[in-house]
Amino acid sequence: MTIALQVFVTGLAAGGVYGLFAAGHTLIYRLTGMVNFAFGDLVGLGVFATLLVLAGTAPVTQSGAHEPRFLGALVVGLVFCVSAGILTYFGLVQPYLARGSTIGWVAGTAAVAFAIRAAIGAAFQRSSYVFPDPLPFHRVGHAGFIRIGGAQVQARAFFVIGLALALALGSAWLLEKSRFGRALRAVADDAEGARVVGVPVDLLVALAFGLVGAFAMIAAIAAAPGQAVNANTGTLLGLKGLVAALAVRFGPPLLAFGAGLLLGVVESAIANVHLGSWQFGPSYREVLPLAFVLLLIAIWPSREALEEQE
């Protein structure tokens, strides 16, 4: 029971971040019919830009950040993430969508993904880095751990879960109520129709491209001090988000967020839970959900996913 709670909370915290990536993937798919393979790396770019401003490329300690400096670094990171996303859209996505060339945007976004990963790897050459923590979680509970009925849970986990939920609900509200959101929904329903009635489709989609990156990046940074980060961090988060989004077949963004939460909990359970003497163990944590979703779309695809046939 105690371990179950620990697994659940840890999983939710990881899943909250996955969920924002999943919501971003599904929103972009619904707007454009494409998958941004550089999504995770664009966020990784923002995270490492933040780290660069905060601490350079040298190793840092957990408590190396002060709040004003941290906020400044965060803004720089967000600017990097959003503008790189917008540039990617205008340079490597929109031209190919207009031409109807799938291979173009697939290869283009994958190229951006690997180029960013290479750039981060070249600047940050250690195998992993510690992300400085602006919030003094180590002072909460026992060195950052809270005891709930025998279970040890990172205090940060609750903060990450709350923040991810707030971001997800906030973006859902934005999509539902704001003019920007209404216009986006119009584009998702019928891009040509929206264009005809004067909605600046490309500009809106480019903004959405940047903004989903910003939302995901804030969640990723909130969770970052909890574990080591490296050039693969962003890529893997993007991948997990895609897995969750595919699991709900690019359904509504909030559903995708839920799938992300579930993916986090499932991963955590695979790594820790054992039934009697039998358990999967941490090695299976990443591969099992991936394999499951791959088989899911290969064997049991949704009708909308099928290539148009007679």
Partner 1 sequence: MSALGQTAGELRRAVDEARAGWSRVAWITVAAVALAPLVPFLSLPGVRLDSLADTVYLAVAATGLGLTVGAAGLPSLGAGAFMAIGAFTSALLVARSGWPLGPAVLAGAAAALVAGLISGGIVRLRGAFVAAGTWLLAWLVWLFLLAFPSVSGGSQGLILPPKTLFGLNATPTVHFEVALVLLIVTALAIAAVRRGAPGLELVALRQAPRLATSLGVPLGRRRLGAFAASAFVAGLAGALSVQLAAVADPTAYDPFLSFKLLVAVLLGGAAATLGPAAGVAALGLIGLVSDPLARALQLPLERFDTAVAAILLVFVLALGGGGIVPWLRRFFPLQRRTAQAGLVGARRGREQASAGPVLQAIELRKTFGGVVALDGLSLQVARGETVALVGPNGSGKTTALRLISGAEPPDAGRVLFDGRALTGERTPDRVRLGVARTLQATAYFPELTALESVLVGRSVRRHFGGAIRTALSTPNARREAHDSEARAREALDLVGLAGVSYVPTPELTTSQRRLVALAAALAGEPEVLLVDELAAGAGSEELEHIAEVVGRIRGRGIAVLLVEHNLRLVRLAADRVLVLAAGRSVAEGSVAEVADSDVVRRAYLGTQRL
Residues engaged in binding partner 1 (CB under 8 A): 29, 33-35, 37, 91-92, 95-96, 102-104, 106-108, 110-112, 114-115, 117-119, 121-122, 125, 239, 242-243, 246, 282-287, 290-291, 293-295, 297-299, 301, 305-310
Query: C-beta of 161: minimal distance to partner 1 in Å?
Result: 25
CA proximity to 241, closest of 36, 38, 25: 25
- Strands of 190-238 (E only): list them: none
Pick 5 or 236: Cβ nearer partner 1: 236
Query: C-beta of 52: minimal distance to partner 1 in Å?
Result: 17
Query: C-beta of 74: minimal distance to partner 1 in Å?
Result: 26
Q: DSSP letters along 123-144, please?
A: HS-SS-BPPP-SS-GGGSTBTT
Pick 56 or 162: Cβ nearer partner 1: 56
Find all residues with CB under 8 Å of 22, minimum gap 6, and list them: 240, 241, 242, 243, 244, 245, 248, 256, 257, 259, 260, 263
Query: C-beta of 250: minimal distance to partner 1 in Å?
Result: 9
Count of CB atoms situated within 10 Å of the CB of 269: 17
Pick 133 or 267: Cβ nearer partner 1: 267
CA 6 to chain centre: 23
Pick 104 or 252: Cβ nearer partner 1: 104
What 8-state DSSP symbol labels residue 308? P
Query: C-beta of 72: minimal distance to partner 1 in Å?
Result: 28
Pick 56 or 121: Cβ nearer partner 1: 121
Distance CA 63, CA 131 (A): 9
